[in-house]
Amino acid sequence: MSKSGREIELKLELDPTAQDAIKRAGTIAGFTASRSVTKTLQSIYFDTPDQTLRKAKISLRVRKVGRSWVQTAKLGTGVMGGLSSPVEAEHPVQGRALDFSVIEDPAVRDKLAEAIGDAPLSECFETVMKRTTRQLTRESDGADIELAFDTGNILAGAGTQPLVELEMELKAGPSLALYEAAKALLGDTPFRFSPYSKAERGYRFAEGQAPEERAPYFADDIRFSAGLSTELAFRDVLRSCLTQISENRLAVLASEDPEGPHQLRVGLRRLRSAFRLFRPVINPASMAPLDATARTIANEAGALRDLDVLLDEIVVPLVDKAPPSLSFDTLLAHLNAQRDQDTRTVLTDHLKSAEVNEFLLNLAAYTEGRGWLDPENFGQTALLAQPIESYAGKALAKQWKKVLGHGKRLEELSIPERHDMRKAMKKMRYGIEFFGCLYPADTVKPFLKRMKKLQDIFGYLNDVAMAETLPDKCRALEKKSIEATQAIGFVIGWHEAQCQAMWQHAKGYWDATRQTPKFWT
C-alpha cells in the first residue's frame, strides 16, 4: 500500500527510564488509547557522496518491517520546536535497494531527480529500533494520533550510538491535539524537544560528532531573509526563545553549572521582551498566561543567579583584599548553603513539575499554531503581513524612547529608577539582538559598544544593591557571628566605594550612547 502526503510529527527526547515508564502507562487523560504493538524496524538511509539530499532537506530510506520492505522519501525534514511536517512518499519495494519507479507523485520524483542529478546513491548509515506504537483518539475533535516509542541504535561503520525518542504523529484532527496529548502523556516528566530528525542524527553520528550534552545553551544568532513578514519574524524569535528555555531547563537539572540558570533567565527575558516588542501586532490576551509563567520561572532562576553573582563576583573576590584578621568562612558557608539547599531546590522542583511541561508545550503550540491571532482585530492581517524591515525600526524607536526617558534624568534617578532604566536597556539590547541582522553590521556595532559600557555600570550597581541585602539574608547569622558581621560590613563598604567611583563615569557613557547614530532611523 502506497502513501503520499504531508505528515505532522512532534518529536521528543526522554530519559530512557522515563520513556519505559510512560510506555507502560495505561490511560491518557482525554484520549482513548489502543493496545500497544511492538515491532523491530531496520532502516537504511541513502545519499550521494557529497550529501546532496541532506543539503536539500530530503531523507531517503528503505525500511524492513517484518518480512516486508518499504521505501520512504521525506521532503522538508527540518525540526523546529520538536515539530516536523515533511512531505512523505511511502511505497512498498522488493528488497533493500531503492526503486524510484514505484513513486506515484510526480512532484516527489522531480524533486529527487533535481537534487540527485547524475550522482550515485549509496548507503550512509542505518538505524535498528524497537518501536512500540499506540493509537490515541478523541471523539470531540476527531483527533487521531499515533504514539511511537523508539528505542535502538544508529549504526555507521563499526560504531553504534543509542537512539531513544518519542514520536507523536497527527493522523487526523487539529495540530493542537498533539500538544494536548503530550501534556496528558508526560505529566511531570522532563523532556527535550528533539532538534533533529533521525536522518540528521545518523549523518551527525556518521561524521563522528558526539551526542549533544545537557550543557548550558546560548541562543543562536537570529537571521531574517529579506522581505520576511512580521508574523514569520515573530515566529522565528519565539522559536529561538523556546529552544533556549527548554535546553537550559535540562541544563539546570543536569548540573550545578551557574551558567545554566543564567541562560535560562536570559531565554525567559528574551521571550518576555519579544512579547512586548511585538505587542502592537499580536493579541495581548493570548500571551498573558505564557508571560505570567515565564515571569515566575525567571524570578526563581534569577534568585539562584543572583546568589551565584553575590558569591562569585561580590564576596569571593574580596577574600584576598581583606585584612588578614578578617575571615569570610562563616559568611561563605552560609551563602553556599542558602544557594544550594534553598534557592536551587525551589527552582529545580519547579522545573521538574507538570506546570513547566505545560508551559513549554503551550509555548510550542502558540508558536507553531499562530496563537497570537486576534479574531476581533480585523486590521491584524495587514499588520502581520508587513515586512519585518518596516516593523523593526518602529519597535526599536519605541523602546529607545523609554530608555531616553530615564536617561534624561540620569543624575536624579533613585535606586529603583536606576533598576528600571537597566531593565529598559536590557529590552533594548534584546530588540537589537532580534532585529540587528536587518541592518549593516558597521552601523549596529558602534551603538551596541556604547550601550554595553553603560549596561556594565548599571549591572554592577545592581550587584552592589544585592550586596546591601546581605544583612537581611544573613540576619540570623549576624546575631551568632561577629566574624560574619565584620565580613558583611567590609563587603558592603568596599563595593559602595567602587560604586561611587564608577557612577561618576555613567553620565559620560550615557552621553556617548545618546549621541551615537541610531542605526534604525
H helix or E strand, kind and range, residue 153? strand 143-156
Q: Is the pLDDT of residue 300 over 80?
A: yes
Residues 189, 240 within the same domain: no
Q: Domain tally for the chain? A: 2
In a domain, 193, yes or no: yes
The last residue of a domain, from among 149, 171, 206: 206
Q: Which residues contact 124 (CB under 8 A, 6 or more apart)?
A: 45, 46, 47, 51, 156, 202, 203, 206
Per the rule left: phi > 0, alpha: psi between -120 and 50, beta: everything else, 112 is alpha
Q: Which residues contact 475 (CB under 8 A, 6 or more apart)?
A: none
Per the rule left: phi > 0, alpha: psi between -120 and 50, beta: everything else, 172 is beta
Q: 351, 480, 293, 485: which is closest to 343 by C-alpha? A: 351
Q: Where are the alpha helices (DSSP H) in 339-414?
A: 344-351, 354-368, 380-385, 388-407
What's the CA gap between 213 and 500, in Å, rounded?
43
Q: What is the CATH number of the domain that holds 124?
A: 2.40.320.10
Q: Which residues contact 218 (CB under 8 A, 6 or more apart)?
A: 244, 263
Classify residue 516 by its DSSP letter: S
Q: What is the predicted pLDDT for the residue at 477? A: 66
In a domain, 224, yes or no: no
Residues 168, 304 within the same domain: no
In a domain, 521, yes or no: no
Note down the domain range covering 201: 3-206
| Type of residue at 402 | K
Average pLDDT over residues 133-156: 95
Q: What is the predicted pLDDT for the residue at 2? A: 57
Q: Which residues contact 347 (CB under 8 A, 6 or more apart)?
A: 252, 261, 297, 300, 301, 303, 304
Residues 196, 235 within the same domain: no
pTM: 0.90
Residues 86, 149 within the same domain: yes
Q: 59, 81, 131: which is closest to 368 by C-alpha? A: 81
In a domain, 488, yes or no: yes
Residues 132, 267 within the same domain: no
Residues 195, 257 within the same domain: no
Residues 306, 445 within the same domain: yes
Q: Is the pLDDT of residue 213 over 80?
A: no
In a domain, 150, yes or no: yes
The last residue of a domain, from among 173, 206, 239: 206
Q: What is the predicted pLDDT for the residue at 450? A: 87
Q: Is 74 helix (H, G, I), strand (E, B) or coil?
A: strand
Residue predicted with more confidence, 85 or 378: 378
HSE at residue 445, side-chain half, CA atoms within 13 A, is: 3
Q: Is the pLDDT of residue 479 over 80?
A: no
DSSP string computed for 395-436: HHHHHHHHHHHHHTTGGG--HHHHHHHHHHHHHHHHHHHHHG
The last residue of a domain, from among 191, 206, 221: 206
| Type of residue at 346 | V
Q: Please state, rounded to an integer, the average pLDDT across all residues of the chain.
A: 91
What's the CA gap between 91 and 74, in Å, rounded?
12
Residue 160's pLDDT band (cuts 50, 70, 90): very high
In a domain, 407, yes or no: yes
DSSP string computed for 236-295: HHHHHHHHHHHHHHHHHHH---THHHHHHHHHHHHHHHHHHHTGGGS-HHHHHHHHHHHH
In a domain, 219, yes or no: no
Can you read off the three cell numbers belonging to residue 377?
482585530
Q: Where are the alpha helices (DSSP H) in 39-157?
A: 52-55, 106-116
| Type of residue at 285 | A
State phi, psi for 130 to the nearest 5 degrees.
-100, 125
Q: Is the pLDDT of residue 368 over 70?
A: yes
Using only C-alpha atoms, the chain has a radius of gyration, in whole angstroms, of: 27
Residue 392 buriedness (CB in 10 A; 0-12 / 13-18 / 19+): buried
Are the C-beta atoms of residues 19 and 166 closer than 8 Å to each other? yes
Residues 504, 449 within the same domain: yes
Residues 374, 434 within the same domain: yes
Are the C-beta atoms of residues 89 and 111 closer than 8 Å to each other? no
In a domain, 50, yes or no: yes
Q: What is the CATH number of the domain that holds 482?
A: 1.40.20.10
What's the CA gap between 351 and 32, in Å, rounded?
29
Q: 225, 195, 220, 219: which is closest to 209 by C-alpha? A: 195
Residues 399, 400, 406, 408, CA torsion sign: negative
Residues 190, 240 within the same domain: no
Q: What is the predicted pLDDT for the residue at 82? A: 76
Q: Which residues contact 325 (CB under 8 A, 6 or more apart)?
A: none
Q: 169, 175, 177, 179: which is closest to 149 by C-alpha? A: 169
Q: Is the pLDDT of residue 23 over 90?
A: no
pLDDT single digits (tens) 216-260: 999 999 999 889 999 999 999 999 999 999 999 999 999 999 999
Residues 432, 299 within the same domain: yes
pLDDT single digits (tens) 326-360: 999 988 998 999 898 889 999 999 999 999 999 99
Residue 320 buriedness (CB in 10 A; 0-12 / 13-18 / 19+): exposed
Beta bridge partners of 442: none
CB atoms within 10 A of CB 254: 14
What's the CA gap between 459 and 451, in Å, rounded?
12
CB atoms within 10 A of CB 263: 24
Residues 141, 268 within the same domain: no
Q: Which residues contact 416 (CB under 8 A, 6 or more apart)?
A: none
Average pLDDT over residues 128-132: 95
